[in-house]
Chain A
Amino acid sequence: MGSIIGTMGCSSSVADRKSENVIRAAILIQKWYRFTMARLEMRRRYSLSIFQSIEYADEQDQLQLSNFFTFMLDHCTHPDAVSQIFTSPSAPQVVDEDLCLKEFEKKIDVPDSYYGPRLSFPLTVEDANALLHAFRNEQLLHARYVLQLLSETRRVLKEMPNITHLSTSYSKEITVCGDLHGNLDDLLLIFYKNGLPSEQNRYVFNGDFVDRGKNSMEILIILFAFLLIYPNDLHLNRGNHEDYIMNLRYGFTKEVSKKYKDHWKQILCLLRDVFSWLPLATIIDSKVLILHGGISDTTDLDFLNALERNKLKSLMRPPKSVRNRQDQVKKRIPTTKPSKHIANQHVAGKTQHISSSGFTEPSGSDLPPDPALKEWKQILDILWSDPRSQNGCTPNKCRGGGCYFGPDVTAKLFERYNLKMLIRSHEFKPEGYEISHDGKVITIFSASNYYEEGSNRGAYIKLNPELTPRFVQYQVSKFTRRQNLRERVGTIESSALKSLREKIYAHRSELISAFAQYDVNGTGRISVNDWAAAMESVLQLELPWRMLRSQLAQMNSDGEVDFMSCFYDLKMGQPTKEAQPALAETLCRYRKDLEIIFNIIDKDHSGLISVEEFSQTWRLFTSHLGIDTQDDSIDKLVLSIDYNKDGHIDFNEFLEAFHVVHRLEKKATS
C-alpha cells in the first residue's frame, strides 16, 4: 500500500508512515462498518423469517380448521349452523339476482347528516374521485352505496370469463400490482405515482386486496368503482384472501362489522358472492400469464377456463370426496388416544392434513375422477402455490395448501401454452418483487411495511408492448423523520420477537417438559444446543435459535441457558382463576380458531352462545385435535364465566382473557 502512495509522489518516509496510518485507520473503520452492517442485515433477515414462519404456521392452522368444520359437520352438533356457512348465505333476499340498485335505495335510507360521498349509478370518474378524496380524509361510504356498488360489481364480473385476455396494442403499457392487504396508503401511492386507471392507463390487480390491513373495505370500493367505470381497462384476479372463511381469521370480517354496524351482514353476504365471481387469471398478448399464487404440474388452463368459478365460495372447504378420503385417513391414524404428548399429536394432525389435501401423492390417482375435486384442486393450486428453484412439484408444507413448483414445471406449462412469462404475487418479498426460474417467473408484492413499519418495500410492474417488465418500488412512511437503518431494524426485530414470544408462551407447558428432558439433574439449566433442539421440536419453526437465544433466554457464565427465563416477560391477559394452567394454555393457543368457530355457531351474531353449545364445541374441538383435557375442568370454567347465570356466554370477552401480554414492553434493541 505504501508503494502506491510512493508512486503518487509522496516520497518522504515520514509522509509514508503517516499515510500508512491513515490507510490502516480507514481500513479499520471500513471493517467495523461492514461488520456492523452485516450484523444489522442478519437481524433484519432473521426478523423477517420469524414473521414469515409464524405467518405460514398460522395459515396451516387455518387450513387445519377447515378440516374441523368437516369434522363438526360429520358429528352433527350444529348441522344447521355449519352447513349454513358452507351453503347459501343467510339472507337470500340480498343475493336475489333481480334485487338491484332501486331496491337498496328504497330500503336503506341515507340521512341528511351523512357527509360522505353520494354515488349515482352508472358511476363516473367524478364519483371515483369523490371516493378517493373521502377515503383520504378517513370518511366512510354509506352502506347503501356500498351495497349498490357491490351488486353492480357482481353484475359486471358475471359477464367476465374465468381467464381474461388482454392485448398491449391498445395502450402503451399495462401496470400489474400484487397483494395490497388492506393498505390503502399503498394503493393511493400507486395511483399518485402511476396515475389513475383509465383507457390509456390500464391495470391488473392480482388478488389479496383484503385482510390484515385496516382499509380493506376502502380498497375494494375504489377498485370496484374503477372496474365499473373502465371494465375493459382495469382487471382483478382472485387471491387466496378473497375467501370469506379466510376473512374470518385475518381481519376483514371484523373490519366490515366495525365499520357497518347495521348492514355488515348484508355486505359480507354479497361480498361472498362477489369474491366467487372474481376472474382467476389474466393473460396478456397470449404470452404473459398473471395469477395470484402459481401453478402445479397438473394446472390445466383450458379446464380452469371452462369451470363454473362461482361455485367455489371458499377454498377452505374441500369438496365431499376429499372429505371422505380424510375420514379414511383418520381411521388409520388414531387421534383420540389419550396422550400427554400434545406436541406429537399436533404434528401428526398437521402431516395428516398435508398429505390429505391431495396434491401430488400417488394415492390420489386411485380415486375415481370427481369433477368437484378437480375444480377445487385446480383453483387451490393457482391461488396458493409458490415457486421454488428445485425442480419438481411438491406439496407446500409451510403453508399447508397449494404446492411448490420448480423451473421444470414452469417450462412445461410455458411450452404447452406457448407462454413467455408468469407474473404472480402471494409471497412477501423484502424488495417488493423477485425474479425466479431464469426470469420466467416474477413475484410482485405491493403492500409495503407488510410485517412492520420498514419491513419491506412494495412494488408494481409496468409491462410495455415488447412485454419487458419494469419494476417501480416504493415505501409508504408514516414518520416525518426518516429512521436510520439501525432504528428500522430495531423496530422490525422487536416486533418480530414480540410475536415469537407470544408463540413461545402459548406452548409453555410443552416447552417446559421438553426442556426438563434435557435437564437430568434438575438444575433449571441446559446447554444452548439442547435448548435450541427443544425450541425447534416443540414450536416447529425453522429459526436460527442459537442466534436468537440471547434475545429470548438468559445464559449463565458457564454458557448454560436458564430455560424458565423465556417466560419471564409474559403472562396471560386476565388469568381466570378457574382455568387450570394447561387449560388456559390450550385456550390461548387456539384462541383464533375458537373465535372463528364460535362466530359460526353464533348464528344471529349476538356475540353470545349457550353454555351447552360452548362445552359441546369445546369437546369436539379438543377431540378433533387429540388434546387430552379433563371434562369437568371446562364445565367449571364455563359456569364461572356465565356471569349473570342466564346460560349464555359472551365468547369474545371470554377469549380476550387468554391473550398473551408482555409484562414489560422491552424497548427496541437499538
Chain B
Amino acid sequence: MFLFADVLVAEIEKKITEAFEVFDRESNKTVDVRFIGCIVRSLGCFPTEAEVQELLTKIEVEEPGGFVHLGNFLPVMTKIYSFSLKALDENKCGYITKEDLVKHLTEEGEPFNLEEMEDMLAVALDPETDTLHYRDYRTKLVVDETKNFPFKVWDAFR
C-alpha cells in the first residue's frame, strides 16, 4: 500500500529516531511513555490525547516504569508518518489551510482582529513549520478530528 521509495522510508525513520532520541535521556533507546505524545506532535502530527492513547495501545510499553522502546515505536510511527505525507500529497479533503483558518478566526464567533491573529499565529507556529507545512505541504490542521490522524485509515490496511 505504501509505495514510497526505500530511501524516503529510511529518511522518515531517521527523522523519527532523531525526535525520539531527543527525549531518550539515558541514550538507551527508550523514552518515558509520557513523552510519546510530545514526540508525535513535534514530528508535525496533530493527534488528540485520545489518539495518542490509541497509538500507545499499538506499541508495546515496557513494564514496569512505562518505557517505550524505539524498536516498538519506530515501525508504528513510520507507517503513520508515511501515510500522513501521502494524504497530504493527494491533497485530501478534511484539511484546512492556514488561509482558511485565518478566515474563520477573523470572521466567525468573536472575531480576532488583525493584530490578535498575528499574535496568535506567532505564538502557535514555529516559523519553520509555518513555511514548511503551510506553504509546501499545506496545513496539517484538521477540523474534522476523525480524519486527521490516520489511525482509523491505517487500521483498514492492517
Contact = CB atoms under 8 A, between A and B. Distances in A.
B15 A27 contact: no
Interface in A92-118: none
B6 interface: no
13 contacts: A27-B145, A31-B47, A35-B46, A38-B37, A38-B39, A41-B42, A42-B22, A46-B22, A390-B26, A529-B10, A544-B21, A546-B14, A547-B19
B145 A546 contact: no
B143 A544 contact: no
Contacts of A45: 22-23
Nearest to A32: B124
Given A27-B48, A38-B42, 15 more contacts: A24-B143, A25-B109, A27-B145, A31-B48, A32-B141, A34-B41, A35-B124, A37-B38, A38-B37, A39-B126, A42-B39, A45-B22, A388-B26, A529-B11, A551-B128
Nearest to B26: A389
Contact of B22 (A37, A532, A544, A550): A544
A424 to B, nearest CB: 16
A315 B143 CA distance: 61
B41 A38 contact: yes
Contacts of A41: 38, 42
Q: A-B pairs with the 8 shortest C-beta distances?
A: A38-B41, A42-B42, A544-B18, A38-B38, A550-B128, A38-B42, A35-B41, A45-B22
A49 B141 contact: no
B158 to A, nearest CB: 25
Contact of A28 (B49, B126, B143): B143
Contact of A39 (B28, B41, B47, B145): B41
Contacts of A43: 126
B114 interface: no
Contacts of B39: 38, 42
Given A545-B18, A550-B128, A39 B42 contact: yes
Interface string A200-239: 0000000000000000000000000000000000000000
A327 B49 CA distance: 59
Contacts of B143: 24, 28
A2 B54 CA distance: 21
A669 B19 CA distance: 20
Interface string A522-534: 0000001100100
Interface in B28-55: 28, 37-42, 46-49
Contacts of A36: 123-126
Interface in A525-580: 528-529, 532, 542, 544-547, 550-551
Interface of A: 24-25, 27-28, 30-39, 41-43, 45-46, 49, 388-390, 486, 528-529, 532, 542, 544-547, 550-551, 669
Given A24-B145, A32-B141, A36-B123, A546 B42 contact: no
A127 B143 CA distance: 67
Nearest to A47: B22
A272 B139 CA distance: 61
Interface residue SS majority, chain A: helix
Interface of B: 10-11, 14-15, 18-19, 21-23, 26-28, 37-42, 46-49, 109, 123-129, 132, 141, 143, 145
B63 to A, nearest CB: 15
Nearest to B131: A550
Nearest to B126: A39
A49 B25 CA distance: 9
Contact of A49 (B19, B22, B46): B22
A547 B128 CA distance: 10
Contacts of B27: 542
Contacts of B21: 542, 544
A46 B38 CA distance: 13
B8 to A, nearest CB: 10
B14 A529 contact: yes
Contacts of A39: 41-42, 126, 129
B13 to A, nearest CB: 11
Nearest to A430: B25
A390 B25 CA distance: 12
Nearest to B27: A542
A170 B65 CA distance: 38
B124 A42 contact: no
Contact of B18 (A27, A37, A547, A551): A547
A42 B46 contact: no
B32 to A, nearest CB: 12
A542 B27 CA distance: 10
A254 to B, nearest CB: 33
A390 B46 CA distance: 34
Contacts of A33: 124
Nearest to A548: B18
A27 to B, nearest CB: 6
Contacts of B41: 34-35, 37-39
A107 B41 CA distance: 67
A27 B46 CA distance: 11
A389 B28 contact: yes
B25 to A, nearest CB: 9
Contacts of B18: 544-547
A84 to B, nearest CB: 41
A36 B37 CA distance: 12
Counting chain B CB atoms within 10 Å of each CB, which of A42, A390, A528 scores highest? A42
A42 B143 CA distance: 25
Contacts of B141: 28, 32
Nearest to A532: B14
B31 to A, nearest CB: 11
B37 A34 contact: yes
A545 B21 CA distance: 11
Contacts of B49: 30, 34
Nearest to B67: A389
A546 B28 CA distance: 20
B19 A544 contact: yes
A35 B124 CA distance: 8
Contacts of A545: 18
Nearest to B18: A544
A542 B129 CA distance: 23
Nearest to B144: A24
Contacts of B129: 39
Contacts of B37: 34, 38
A532 B14 CA distance: 10
B22 A31 contact: no
Given A36-B124, A486-B123, A31 B46 contact: yes
Contacts of A49: 22
A543 to B, nearest CB: 9
Contact of B15 (A24, A25, A546, A551): A546
Nearest to B128: A550
Given A388-B26, A390-B28, A544-B21, A31 B145 contact: yes
Contacts of B46: 31-32, 35
Contacts of A28: 141, 143, 145
Contacts of A529: 10-11, 14
